[in-house]
Chains A and B, each alone.
Chain A
């Protein structure tokens, strides 16, 4: 355990010593800021239309759901930048030799690295709490729904980060790790539409729902609508644990080559 804390500390240091953490945080918050501004715009527009008796108003909660679904998607783009170096860089710098010849369990190594990238992501997401503050100030959001949304985000991020780590462990190039992580996360999201499409068009009822279930999108969406299903929690946790286990295997297998 002390080993993973050592790894965690070192990884966090590396993040903040290079410009990458600041750049990513800045870009992420900028994009989210643009989306939030748009969100406020739409909210005001619908409300003014409603005030003059035209059509139905849009609830703040409905909009917040869209906001956070966007955020969960944008985090797919952010994740590769934080996870790409986790293992690839160690391989390139020949520092695996240090880690593997120290009395450190491989599991501690994998856990430490996961926690480092995960805490960076969590930190980013927590900064977005400022939107909640604005919503409370000028609207009347349902706080429990926001709570479940954040729970969903934290769970989804664990999946993203563990997958990014796994891919980084498979290559010694950061760029390749980033590209593949991005592709993998995007494909996972698209599984939802793919599965629905298959069910609707071909009638393969066995495969369609399975693909839909494998995508994190639906699982996250139920959190963002205020629902906590055990199956969603199980999905995210088992996804993360299995991916971490695979990472452990890949790291271990590096020694055998």
Chain B
């Protein structure tokens, strides 16, 4: 659906993005991850046709962004970093203006407006001035604007910044609800955001893509997962008995205060069940058993701080 080849943008001497190559399949949610100033917004602005690239090509739905800007713009819904709203208009007036811009015929206008108002949960504020709305509502008005023409591709630039936790959750669910129907590119600098919403991520750092893969394989060493086990005491031969469970590749005992073990094993439920059984039978006093989730975070940090971080 989206093809980007050798895309480069320079602001004077400064290279904002450097020879990006990636593609997004139809129906996929792509997380675009990077620190502030890494080049996320620049890439999005080029994809939406807001600004031209210095070199390279980008195409959406088979249309080149530079050669057929109008065709491309018809297919895209875009929510910029700052929601593009007019504070002096009512929510309904604003959406009706966007519908005019999008060339939606008069007969469908009220139907489509009502649809996005419902989708973005704006029913209570439809007759209020946008200038008087809270940040969360403004963001949702921005999202409604991006969705009104039912675009095939949605490009969202940090859509959850400034929202409260409940609203963040709502926004994520809304975006997840669009999966399959729409292709979504979603930029953020918050990692948990990506983990919760996206199918695949691209990590961009100082204008370069440093990693690009499906989320469920990211940060895992092969197919192994780590499980942390807290116990009251280390029972007889616990380490040996755990190591003997088939599928377990390694056991580390870390005793500081409470007794902590880290078990590395294949990612299978049977193995987990067996491990817990062994711990209980060894009379160690099981307190907690949980998967280690830091892998993704550690991996991400290693990528953007440039301290290695290889994928097997």
Binding site for B on A (CB under 8 A): 2-3, 5-7, 9-10, 13-14, 17-18, 93-105, 255-256
Contact = CB atoms under 8 A, between A and B. Distances in A.
B145 A98 contact: yes
Contact of B93 (A5, A7, A13, A102): A13
Interface string B72-84: 0110101010101
A98 B84 contact: yes
Contacts, number: 73
A98 B73 CA distance: 11
A17 to B, nearest CB: 5
A102 B73 contact: yes
Interface in B59-115: 70, 73-74, 76, 78, 80, 82, 84-89, 93, 97-98, 100-103
A104 B70 CA distance: 7
A117 B174 CA distance: 39
A102 B85 contact: no
Closest 4 CB pairs of A and B: A6-B100, A98-B84, A102-B101, A94-B82
9 contacts: A13-B89, A13-B93, A14-B89, A17-B89, A97-B45, A98-B80, A101-B49, A102-B98, A103-B70
Interface of B: 45, 48-52, 70, 73-74, 76, 78, 80, 82, 84-89, 93, 97-98, 100-103, 145
Given A5-B100, A255-B50, A256-B52, A97 B88 contact: no
Contact residues of A: prevailing secondary structure: helix
Given A2-B103, A10-B86, A13-B89, A97 B97 contact: no
Given A2-B100, A97-B80, A98-B98, A10 B49 contact: no
A110 to B, nearest CB: 14
A18 B88 CA distance: 8
B89 A93 contact: no
A9 B97 contact: yes
Contacts of A7: 101
A100 B88 contact: no
Contacts of A96: 84
A95 B84 contact: yes
A18 B89 CA distance: 10
B86 to A, nearest CB: 6
A241 B43 CA distance: 35
A220 B102 CA distance: 40
Nearest to A8: B100
Given A6-B100, A6-B101, A104-B101, A93 B86 contact: yes
A203 to B, nearest CB: 49
A97 B83 CA distance: 9
Contacts of A3: 100-101, 103
A100 B51 CA distance: 9
A93 B74 contact: no
A188 to B, nearest CB: 31
Contact of B50 (A2, A18, A100, A105): A100
A61 to B, nearest CB: 44
B74 A256 contact: no
A204 B103 CA distance: 55
Contact of B84 (A13, A14, A97): A97
A97 B89 contact: no
A100 to B, nearest CB: 5
Contact of A101 (B50, B86, B93): B50
